[in-house]
Amino acid sequence: MKALLNFFVDLCLLRAAPQDLPASGVILAGTFLLNILVSLLMIVDARHGPGLALIESLFETFLMLTVLYLALRTRRLRGRFQQSATALMGSGLLLGLLALPLVAWSHRSDSTEAGLLLLLLIIWSIVVLGHIIRHTFGLTLNIGVALGVLYTMLAWSMVVRLFPVT
């Protein structure tokens, strides 16, 4: 467990790559469930009640995994799905845990500092996404980050339309 946590820390620091993970359905399922839980906690605290937050969290996660699967299938790299999906889930979990107190702080006080820290965390998460994309598809980091920015913007626009803040 500690080795896995250390791996995800190294992944978020761009020192490890998805292909360094063991291809394990158990690890993927565990990181998937924990990622959903952390995402749910962020959404409940910030925008919605538990039911809608669960649906939004599941939508965001399945959207990411579907886009990954389709992109890998298009490039004939489906064998990389399990490790790449686990890397996405694990890094999302870790960065989500860092975001939880910032979301709560921002929600309760409208603090500029909390907003800035959240923005830095979002930028960091896009860089980590780009890092994972780079290794999954054999691209440069710049192209991976550009694809990460594109994916994030498209996913956010879909989420905002489907789950408007009331």
Give the model's pLDDT for residue 50: 86
As a whole number of angstroms, the distance between CA 155 and CA 23 comes to: 26
Give the model's pLDDT for residue 27: 96
Give the model's pLDDT for residue 46: 61
As a whole number of angstroms, the distance between CA 10 and CA 7 comes to: 5
pTM: 0.91
Q: How many C-beta atoms lie closer than 10 Å to residue 8's C-beta? A: 22
As a whole number of angstroms, the distance between CA 163 and CA 157 comes to: 10
Token reading at 99: 């975001």
Query: Per residue in 28-74, pLDDT tens?
Result: 999 999 999 999 888 886 667 888 889 999 999 999 999 999 999 99
- Averaged over successive runs of 10 residues, the pLDDT of the chain (166 residues) comes to 93 96 94 94 78 92 97 95 97 95 85 91 97 97 97 95 83
Residue recorded with tokens 């960065």? 95
Q: Which contiguous run of DSSP H or E holds residue 46?
A: helix 25-46
